[in-house]
Chains A and B, each alone.
Chain A
């Protein structure tokens, strides 16, 4: 075949390809009978424990669809594994947006993974809703109008602990243990900002650990040795148990402030032992399924029934499964509010217009609120103290929006 005919053939192919390109749909991902929603979650790799969130969301979507869907449309929930690897997240999200043509992307998990797609989502003008990370930077409607977080952010929580320490401990000497990544560092930033210039000098020791470390015993020993009497414990459940146990074993009894991520009775407090975990202070915004306080609560019973029917292999002790349930309920609320206009612009508008949404599995008094200038849906948290058996709420409901 001569060069000329080759070029001709290629040009013809190119022309055909361009002509065949489908006209851009006005409402991508939406038909009369379904709305397509995309998600990436770490179903494999080091963060795979969080993969249960993606599964409980799928289960809840199935329940919603069984009950007729939202405004007559079924939800087509497409979730892909990114293994907590940012390059993979970029690839999977591009596939969801460009190939699968989803209406919106929801609950993508992880701070570095979401950072990788942050600019892209806003350039493509696709709603990037209720991301599964507590990092503070997702609530920035001026620069990133398409991205919104959901849970109370880590820095606000750090503030709360800082204020608590300053107010309630005489002559505080603060020791911090945190995970050496963005989650840990975000909390510590909140702690330090909350302490202020003068307060920062009260920090006597900081220790870090990696997720791949088998134990953190050495760090606890160092913290005790520093003479700290306040302990900011920014660890994930696996290490939180070790921290609580080891502190108790070596006879170190500081004012123990535990991050909300690890405030689970069944996964952390009980395995660590009642003696060791007594008087630990934390914050919470949702109902812990292992807290005996909620054993007879109607909303908790509904949730257990849901888990038994739709996600039987899921762990009913895992608060992540309550988290996923709540965040999907929020999404369903937004879609319902959007009515028949499911264009991306309107979905985003409705997401930025949630007024006093009260979900039964949130702690009493906590409401979800957003506005075009407020992209932090949940800003209230409750201080809790462990009495050896369950969490006891005390003090007022902290409201970060009222700062």
Chain B
């Protein structure tokens, strides 16, 4: 029983990592209908900015919020400058532009900061917490808490503020929104800004665990996609829950299904995704897209 609980707890911790990046992915998709392949690299780059600030001597929480601000502004600028020229192009063109961004961020980060991994500090104490026979790290708990706080804040923003409503409107029906006086272009930019911000949080929570290097988000992005797919791209909460499910399932399968073991862990995670997609294509918590025919 102990090992089961321990693996579940580890899975939740890892799943929290996936879920936080998945949240950023879902955010951009909800606001702009685009799956941003560069999301992971943007998060990584923001984390490097944070690293530079910490290295220059700034205290952690000052750096944290400064990085969030920088990521927010950066996201807005990216949308207005890089994405705007192709806003009305076919969707695949935009995907290619995002891939271009991915490659640029990765390469520039490697060029400025080199590819050697760097340790990144965690704001939470290093002590392990022990409950019964199950042990988990304070950082893991802290990281998941932060992700949940972000999720809550986003929920409140979208549900109860005028700006949030405007953003939702712009995403669902840009033509009517324009008629209502909503600046649709700026709503898209805001969506990117928020996603950049959420990504930066994810990056700073993840880096203490996996160490900071330009390729840090590559593997996580994959799991983030899986989590968002599982949870449903139309549901931010679903993305986080999806992440936890993927993390836990991965660990449990790796532990208990002998012939698969750890060599096919990723494959199993993906197989789960595929099966869910077959049964409920819009994800566990997503709303199926309704088209007018």
For residue A218, CB closer than 8 A to chain B, the reply is yes
Partner of A214, one of B115, B209, B262: B209
For residue A44, CB closer than 8 A to chain B, the reply is yes
Residues of B within 8 A of A213 (CB): 219, 265-266
Residues of A within 8 A of B41 (CB): none
For residue B63, CB closer than 8 A to chain A, the reply is no
Q: Mark A41-69, 1 if CB is under 8 A from B, else 0.
A: 00011101101100000000000000000
Residues of A within 8 A of B110 (CB): 44, 48
- Interface 9-residue window, one of B10-18, B81-89, B148-156: B10-18
Could you give 5 example pairs across A and B, Cβ below 8 Å? A51-B115, A207-B261, A214-B206, A217-B14, A218-B250
Q: Mark A182-221, 1 if CB is under 8 A from B, else 0.
A: 0000000000000000000000001111111111011101
Known: A52-B115, A215-B209, A315-B114. A221 touches B215 (CB 8 A): no
For residue A225, CB closer than 8 A to chain B, the reply is yes
Give A residues with C-beta under 8 Å from B: 44-46, 48-49, 51-52, 180, 206-215, 217-219, 221-222, 225, 237-238, 241-242, 249-251, 267, 271, 273, 313-315, 317-318
Q: In the bound complex, do residue B263 and residue A221 qualify as a contact, i.e. CB atoms below 8 Å apart?
A: no
Q: In the bound complex, do residue B10 and residue A221 qualify as a contact, i.e. CB atoms below 8 Å apart?
A: yes
Report the bound CA distance from A222 to B261 in whole Å.
11
Q: In the bound complex, do residue B10 and residue A217 qualify as a contact, i.e. CB atoms below 8 Å apart?
A: yes
Partner of A52, one of B116, B137, B206, B220: B116
Q: In the bound complex, do residue A218 and residue B211 qualify as a contact, i.e. CB atoms below 8 Å apart?
A: no
**Chain B residue at minimum C-beta to C-beta distance from A314:** B114
Residue from A46, A249, A314 having most chain B Cβ neighbours under 10 A: A249
Residues of B within 8 A of A222 (CB): 3, 7, 254-255, 262
- Categorize the interface residue count of chain B: 35 or more
Report the bound CA distance from A208 to B206 in whole Å.
22
For residue B213, CB closer than 8 A to chain A, the reply is yes
Residues of A within 8 A of B6 (CB): 221, 250
Q: In the bound complex, do residue A180 and residue B210 qualify as a contact, i.e. CB atoms below 8 Å apart?
A: no
Residues of A within 8 A of B7 (CB): 218, 221-222
Known: A241-B211, A249-B135. A49 touches B116 (CB 8 A): yes
Docked complex: B180-230 residues within 8 A CB-CB of A: 206, 209-211, 213-215, 218-220, 222-223
Q: In the bound complex, do residue A219 and residue B262 qualify as a contact, i.e. CB atoms below 8 Å apart?
A: yes
CB distance from B39 to the nearest CB of A (A): 16
CB distance from A129 to the nearest CB of B (A): 25
Q: In the bound complex, do residue B214 and residue A212 qualify as a contact, i.e. CB atoms below 8 Å apart?
A: no
Q: In the bound complex, do residue B251 and residue A218 qualify as a contact, i.e. CB atoms below 8 Å apart?
A: yes
Report the bound CA distance from A259 to B273 in whole Å.
35
Q: In the bound complex, do residue B250 and residue A215 qualify as a contact, i.e. CB atoms below 8 Å apart?
A: no
Residue from A218, A238, A250, A271 having most chain B Cβ neighbours under 10 A: A218
Docked complex: B1-54 residues within 8 A CB-CB of A: 3, 6-7, 10-11, 13-14, 17-18
Partner of B11, one of A218, A219, A315: A218
Report the bound CA distance from A214 to B209 in whole Å.
8
Residues of A within 8 A of B117 (CB): 49, 237-238, 267
Residues of A within 8 A of B255 (CB): 218, 221-222
Report the bound CA distance from A218 to B223 in whole Å.
16
